[in-house]
Structure 1
Amino acid sequence: MAHPKRKTSKSRKNKRRSHHGLSDIPLTECANCGALHRRHHVCMECGYYRGRQVIQPSN
């Protein structure tokens, strides 16, 4: 098995991990009620997904 010849420094390790941060979740406006929801997910305000009511809203 391969073994590192030298210890990887903290700065080199952190430079490699610079792209591992979390990004913002893209939100879309619901066509039925106008609330913001995640794309390709059921709107939790009205219970609609792609023009149909699939769940009963809890409020």
Structure 2
Amino acid sequence: MAVPKRKKSRSRTRHRKAQWMKTSPPTITRCSQCGADTKPHTVCATCGTYRGRQVVEPRP
């Protein structure tokens, strides 16, 4: 099993782990049918359409 030759300092470890928090917020688009906010490339949860055609039954 590989073992590191030297101990990684706290500052080096924390510097690397600090990059995890720099993620971007999710992209939100508008549904072309009902105008609700949805994620891109997914079926609209409100009206059940995808790319202009009915895919699933809308929720009540």
**Coarse TM-score class (shorter-chain normalised):** 0.7 to 0.9
> d(CA) in 1 for partners of 2:31 and 2:18?
34
Structure 1, unaligned runs of 5 or more? none
Consecutive aligned runs of 4 or more in structure 1 exceeding 4 Å deviation: none
> d(CA) in 1 for partners of 2:18 and 2:55?
40
Q: CA deviation at 1:45?
A: 0.5
Partner residue in 2 for 1:31: 32
TM-score, structure 1 normalization: 0.82
Identical residues among aligned pairs (%): 47
**Cα RMSD over matched residues?**
1.5
TM-score, structure 2 normalization: 0.81
Partner residue in 1 for 2:53: 52
> d(CA) in 2 for partners of 1:35 and 1:29?
6
